[in-house]
Amino acid sequence: MSTSTPQAKPQLTQVYVPPPVRLIALEEHFVFDGLMKTYDETDRALLAPSRVPGLDEVGDMRIEEMDRAGIDLQVLSHTKPGAQEMETGGRAGALARAANAYLAEAVARHPTRLAAFATLPTGAPQAAAAELERTVRRMGFKGAMINGHTRGAYLDDARFWPIFEAAQALDVPIYLHPSNPHPLVFEAYYKDFPQLGYASWGYAVETATHVLRLILSGVFDRFPGLRMVIGHMGEMLPFALWRADGRLTPKSPQLKKSVPNTFIDHFSVTTSGVFSTPELMCTASVVGWDNILFSVDYPFESNMDAVRWFSQLPIAESERRKVAHGNAERLLKLAPAPARSAA
Q: Please state, in angstroms and rounded to a whole number, the distance separating the CA atoms of residues 187 and 175.
A: 27
For residue 34, CA distances in Å to 7, 52, 82, 141, 295 come to: 40, 17, 10, 20, 26
Element (H, E) at 104: helix 90-109
What is the CA angle 15-16-18, rounded to 5?
160
Q: Could you tell me if residue 323 is inside a domain?
A: yes
What pLDDT, on the 0 to 100 scale, is given for residue 36?
84
Q: Could you tell me if residue 22 is inside a domain?
A: no
Q: Domain of 131?
A: 27-332
Question: Using CA of residue 188, residue 193, residue 198, residue 201, what is the dihedral sign?
Answer: negative
The number of folded domains in the chain is 1
The candidate with the shortest Cα–Cα distance to 266, out of 331, 328, 318, is 331
Q: Could you tell me if residue 222 is inside a domain?
A: yes
What is the CA angle 110-58-91, rounded to 5?
115
What is the per-residue pLDDT across 169-200, written as a single tens digit (0 to 9) for each?
A: 999 999 999 988 888 999 999 999 999 988 99
For residue 167, CA distances in Å to 35, 130, 215, 242, 278 come to: 24, 10, 17, 29, 33
What is the CA angle 141-155-58, rounded to 5?
30
What is the CA angle 97-332-153, rounded to 5?
50
What pLDDT, on the 0 to 100 scale, is given for residue 285?
97
pLDDT of 6 higher than 90:
no
CB half-sphere exposure, 336, CA atoms < 13 A: 8
What pLDDT, on the 0 to 100 scale, is given for residue 338?
64
Report the CATH number that the domain containing residue 240 is assigned in CATH. Answer: 3.20.20.140
Q: Please state, in angstroms and rounded to a whole number, the distance separating the CA atoms of residues 212 and 218.
A: 10
Q: What is the DSSP string of 172-215?
A: --EEEE--PPPHHHIIIIISS-GGGGSTTTHHHHHHHHHHHHHH
What pLDDT, on the 0 to 100 scale, is given for residue 89?
63
**Active-site amino acid positions:** 297
Q: Could you tell me if residue 32 is inside a domain?
A: yes
* DSSP 8-state code for residue 326: I
pLDDT of 3 higher than 90:
no
Q: Name the average pLDDT for the chain.
A: 91
What is the per-residue pLDDT across 77-111, written as a single tens digit (0 to 9) for each?
A: 999 988 888 776 688 899 999 999 999 999 999 99
Contact call for residues 192 and 245 (beta carbons, < 8 A): no
Q: What is the mean pLDDT of residues 224-252?
A: 95
- Whole-model pTM over 0.75: yes
What pLDDT, on the 0 to 100 scale, is given for residue 111?
96
Contact call for residues 266 and 220 (beta carbons, < 8 A): yes
What pLDDT, on the 0 to 100 scale, is given for residue 283?
98
Q: Could you tell me if residue 17 is inside a domain?
A: no
pLDDT of 2 higher than 60:
no
Q: What is the DSSP string of 54-76?
A: TTT--SHHHHHHHHHHT--EEEE
What is the per-residue pLDDT across 137-181, written as a single tens digit (0 to 9) for each?
A: 999 999 999 999 999 999 999 999 999 999 999 999 999 999 888
Q: What length does the chain have? A: 343
319: which residues sit within 8 A by CB, 6+ positions away? Answer: 284, 289
What pLDDT, on the 0 to 100 scale, is given for residue 291?
98
Q: Could you tell me if residue 248 is inside a domain?
A: yes
Q: Could you tell me if residue 210 is inside a domain?
A: yes
What pLDDT, on the 0 to 100 scale, is given for residue 14?
45
Check whether the bond before 125 is cis (ω within 30° of 0).
no
The candidate with the shortest Cα–Cα distance to 26, out of 205, 272, 238, 258, is 272
What is the per-residue pLDDT across 286-336, written as a single tens digit (0 to 9) for each?
A: 999 999 999 999 999 999 999 999 999 999 999 999 999 999 999 999 988
What pLDDT, on the 0 to 100 scale, is given for residue 17?
60
Selected residue with higher pLDDT from 263 and 197: 263
Give the pLDDT band of residue 1 (cuts 50, 70, 90): very low
Contact call for residues 21 and 15 (beta carbons, < 8 A): no
The candidate with the shortest Cα–Cα distance to 54, out of 68, 40, 64, 44, is 64
Selected residue with higher pLDDT from 53 and 28: 28
Percentage of the chain beyond pLDDT 90 is 78
Residue 228 Cα to chain centre, angstroms: 9
pLDDT of 342 higher than 70:
no
| Partners of residue 118 on adjacent β-strands | 144
pLDDT of 12 higher than 50:
no
Q: Could you tell me if residue 36 is inside a domain?
A: yes
Q: Where are the beta strands (DSSP E) in the chain?
A: 24-30, 73-78, 114-116, 118-119, 144-147, 174-177, 228-230, 267-270, 292-293
Give the pLDDT band of residue 51 (cuts 50, 70, 90): confident
* DSSP 8-state code for residue 153: B
